[in-house]
A = this chain, B = another copy of it.
Amino acid sequence: MKVLILGGDGYLGWPTAMHLAGKNHEVFIMDNYLRRNMALETCSEALIPAPNLHDRVNIFHSLGGKSMRVEIGDCSDYRVLEKVICDFSPEVVIHYAEQPSAPYSMRGFDEAKRTFDNNLGTTFSLIWAVKEHVPDCHIIKLGTMGEYGTPNIDIEEGWLNVEHKGRKQKFLYPRQAGSLYHTTKVLDTDLLWFYVRVYGLRVTDLMQGPVYGLSTDESELDERLLPNFHYDDIFGTVVNRFLVQAVAGIPLTVYGKGGQTRGYLNLRDTLQCVELAMNNPVEHGEMRILNQFAEQFSVNELADRVQRVGNGMGLNVKVKSIENPRKELEDHYYNAAHSGLLELGLEPHLMTDDVLAVMLEQVIHHKTNIDVQKIMPRVKWK
């Protein structure tokens, strides 16, 4: 299939591109290095330096991987995206091209505006370019489990059947997110659902939990093909932060009580899920929403696991609660459905001790790059 990947330089975009090229799809990557620039501007560079996208494509190709086309451009600019879509005529677009950091989006007006304009602007441009030029194209959009927030009822898979005063209605599951970044994804979903209803677009919206891991079949070919690994307070995830803190010999920083529970996913499973969505397209006028995670646990449980595995490797891992820079529930009900992707054939990789040990080894290998100044929270939700 002809697959256009927006945000193809990102943590998920780049491994997806290699994976799908490896499956003999015709892959076209678009990115404007927004995340690289933001990371540079906020002193939040990734642990392992990565070659630029053209160079990574050439390295992959030189190692026997299939070639890919690359366009460095702003997907939120309609005329730029439209040109690529007309030129390539994709059958599938995978839309990862969003500013992905909650703390960045909460830093101040300029960062909030940049997040809003990029994320909504890209979704808006994509909807229109597909509607106008490739209406049969299947849009696969990366949403986030964070759209749902932490309601006191079960989180269903995208939709909620409500019975009220003896009458019934099916609604988009009501969303209430914890950062502007997550809120832009709520608005993306609203916008996609509106245009699916009116113009019969074909959309899969993947509500993904936090992803961890560096290893995929393709990324392991050469260190220069590894996806970016951020451990800083702005672009890093809690998993990466804990791994780096364990290796650096500083306490794992739990925000507040640590009861925050989320659904986590191995990077290999993101690739599986996106491929499953692609190989099982939806009809015109259908918006399929899938909750994309493999297992749910709390921040405290995650800290315990990293501590146990790290200590088993001879690290001296400590855990410490610090003031929560975010506004969020630290102790809450959480039970999220996630059967849709399993029914499509997902075979989940779980976060076993072995998986954690491999990630710790990868961090140890790059230990000299760790800058412990980048880890403590610089952005507060106040």
Contacts and interface: CB of A to CB of B under 8 A. Distances in A.
Interface of A: 78, 106, 109, 112-113, 116, 120, 124, 128, 132, 151-154, 160, 162, 164-165, 167-169, 171-172, 174-177, 180, 183, 186-187, 190-191, 193-194, 197-198, 327, 333, 381
Contact of A190 (B151, B190, B193): B190
A283 B198 CA distance: 38
B160 A162 contact: yes
B128 A124 contact: no
10 closest cross-chain pairs (CB), A and B:
A171-B174, A153-B164, A153-B167, A153-B169, A151-B169, A152-B169, A183-B194, A109-B128, A187-B187, A174-B174
B190 A183 contact: yes
Contacts of A154: 164-165, 167
Contacts of A109: 78, 128, 132
A174 B172 CA distance: 7
A319 B73 CA distance: 53
Given A128-B109, A128-B112, A191-B187, A171 B198 contact: no
A153 B167 CA distance: 5
Nearest to A165: B154
A205 B153 CA distance: 26
Nearest to A128: B109
A186 B186 CA distance: 11
B153 A160 contact: no
A153 B168 contact: yes
B164 A160 contact: yes
A162 B162 CA distance: 7
A349 B333 CA distance: 47
Contacts of A381: 198
B187 A176 contact: no
B169 A194 contact: no
Contacts of A327: 197-198
Contacts of A113: 78, 124, 128
Given A113-B124, A197-B327, A198-B327, 10 more contacts: A109-B128, A112-B124, A116-B120, A151-B169, A160-B164, A162-B174, A171-B176, A176-B197, A183-B194, A190-B190
A132 B153 CA distance: 35
A130 to B, nearest CB: 12
5 contacts: A78-B113, A116-B124, A177-B194, A180-B194, A190-B190
Contacts of A176: 171-172, 193-194, 197
A128 B164 CA distance: 36
A183 to B, nearest CB: 5
A367 B17 CA distance: 64
Nearest to A326: B198
A195 B191 CA distance: 20
Nearest to A154: B165
B197 A186 contact: no
A146 to B, nearest CB: 12
A186 B190 contact: yes
A187 B124 CA distance: 13
A126 to B, nearest CB: 12
Contacts of A168: 152-153
Contacts of A194: 176-177, 180, 183
Contacts of A78: 109, 113
A135 to B, nearest CB: 12
A101 to B, nearest CB: 16
